[in-house]
Chains A and B, each alone.
Chain A
Amino acid sequence: LAKTTQPISMDSYEGQEVNITCSHNNIATNDYITWYQQFPSQGPRFIIQGYKTKVTNEVASLFIPADRKSSTLSLPRVSLSDTAVYYCLVAGNMLTFGGGTRLMVKP
């Protein structure tokens, strides 16, 4: 079972780049890594997914080292509306959400 570990919270300021790292030491060969964003009173929403190396979309980048035991979600130039909880999900044979990282973006 691939347990994931994330920082509980992070603070940032508008316009800065934010990097949130998730540790998943027991990741299995067929596990993908997915990140979700959750606002209060809403369900989690997909941000990005990857298997190895680097993935980039219009909202974020995901960096996965060769050993795949961790992954880093990178949010470029955050704004106040990026204040949310970010979850790392390792999926394959089992679905394991991390505890979530509460990101607070300050003006």
Chain B
Amino acid sequence: DAGVIQSPRHEVTEMGQEVTLRCKPISGHDYLFWYRQTMMRGLELLIYFNNNVPIDDSGMPEDRFSAKMPNASFSTLKIQPSEPRDSAVYFCASTPFERGTDTQYFGPGTRLTVL
């Protein structure tokens, strides 16, 4: 298995633009997580899905952020409009069964820079 795949690996955009981050979880994994990592706030859970259904989005910072999982093999995290404070590394992770108790497999991350 190729592991969790994220694209793009790097994204540079200007303030006000829409940004879409993509994630392909490991096949057969029922849970998918989106995290954001910054120096100031560390690793924050934004949202997670179980069987393509959003379960907890309490970590999503504001309405400019949205996430979807249209099928078991694809998820997107969208920021519209983007702001400089959204600059961070965004990780996607997946796990096969029990959320939290099973190992999470992280993707390589997308480094987002908003100018």
Contact = CB atoms under 8 A, between A and B. Distances in A.
Contacts of B100: 31-32, 34, 89, 91-92, 95
A46 B42 contact: no
Contact of B108 (A34, A42, A87, A98): A42
B103 interface: yes
Nearest to B104: A46
Nearest to B111: A41
Chain B interface size range: 10 to 19
B33 to A, nearest CB: 7
B45 interface: yes
A91 B99 contact: yes
Nearest to B45: A95
Interface of A: 31-32, 34, 36, 41-46, 49, 87, 89, 91-92, 95, 97-100
19 contacts: A34-B100, A34-B103, A36-B104, A41-B109, A42-B108, A43-B4, A43-B108, A43-B109, A44-B43, A44-B106, A87-B43, A89-B100, A92-B100, A92-B101, A95-B100, A97-B43, A97-B44, A97-B45, A100-B43
